[in-house]
Amino acid sequence: MQQEALGSHANAALTPRARLRLARLIVEDRWPATVAAEMFMVSPITARKWAARFRAEGAAGMTDRPGRPRSMPSKTPARTVKQIVRLRWRRRLGSAQISEELGVPASTVHAVLVRCRISRLSHIDRVTGEPIRRYEHDHPGSLLHVDVTKFGNIPDRGGWRYVGKQQGDRNRETTAKRTGKRRGYEPNVGTAFLHAVVDDHSRVAYVEICTDEKAVTAIGVLERAVAWFADRGVTVERVLSDNGSAYKSFAWRDACAGLGITHKRRPKTNGKIERFHRTLADGWAYARFYRSDSERREALPGWVHFYNHHRRHSAIGAPPPTRLNNLPGHHS
């Protein structure tokens, strides 16, 4: 029955087997189409259609046919598509400008750009006009991205995102009274500093929750991350960071040298790990209602395991560990 269901589209009233039974009742057993249709709870027109197809093609005609038309007279010509793409790439024109220049409706131009995945100018390099080719190191450990992101701690009985502003403020006040932490007159529930390390080639991530973002803390995370990757057969060669104070310190420089790692800095952006931070926020930090900060912290290892081993990464089309040259048993 499962294979039978897969052979029919989602809105089909009959499966191929039911169509065959219906057609045989009409063609072989001489049932009136209206009676057979009523029995199978379809219209007489549908019953006659399957009966006619059974007469012409037999049982093979009971399967679904593609819904695509044999011809598409209104399809945009290939030459026009090439002209649209060329104007987009070379001159970075918008849909309205391309429409005016080629005499093609703007809606058609936009549809072509979406189909070719160049509907956003951010996907096209400003200098060359060519689609952006994102870099990727060719083996695990060639480059690690490191960075820190911050999340406010969750007060007892939940934060404002799920319980509302008024109840959230009351929960913060209750938590501050219990912990004795305040910032002036304001209750202070604290901040979680998440130090993340992401491998450029495989996108495998290593994450720790810390109490600060000082150099000594960042160095400890790096040392443990290097050991963690080594346990998975990965030798770290380079590390890339932003210009955070921890990564500009002499202590960080010396730690990298001691580990045999080349340190590089990219001042403005560190794209892969910034994207990981967003996934971390959506998938873990704000994914569901947490009754306390400790409950959210306890959920982090499970989420990181899911991200690394079970979540299909859109950039590589598979879970990250499939790109690791590691030992058997680490992917479970």
What whole-number distance in Å separates Cα of residue 65 and Cα of residue 19?
A: 14
- The whole-number pLDDT of residue 171 equals 74
pTM score of the predicted model: 0.57
- Reduce the DSSP state of residue 34 to 3 states and report it: helix
Query: Mean pLDDT score of the chain, rounded to an integer?
Result: 83
- Reduce the DSSP state of residue 198 to 3 states and report it: strand
Average pLDDT of the segment spanning 237-257: 92
What whole-number distance in Å separates Cα of residue 309 and Cα of residue 331?
A: 6
- Which amino acid is located at 180 in the chain? G
Beta 205-210 vs 191-199: how paired, if at all?
Answer: antiparallel
Distance (Å) of CA 7 to CA 11, 14, 21, 63? 12, 11, 16, 7
The model's pLDDT over 6-42, given as tens digits with 9 standing for 90+, comes to: 445 555 678 888 999 999 999 999 999 999 999 998 9
| Closest C-alpha among 224, 201, 192, 147 to residue 300 | 192
The model's pLDDT over 88-99, given as tens digits with 9 standing for 90+, comes to: 877 778 888 899
CA geometry: angle at 231 spanning 226 and 235, to 5°?
50
Query: CB of 85 within 8 A of CB of 118?
Result: yes
Q: What is the DSSP letter of 65?
A: -
Average pLDDT of the segment spanning 286-290: 87
- The whole-number pLDDT of residue 175 equals 75
In 4-41, which positions are buried (b, 16+ CB within 10 angstroms) versus exposed (e)? Answer: eeeebeeeeebbbebbbbbbbbbeeeebebeebbeebe
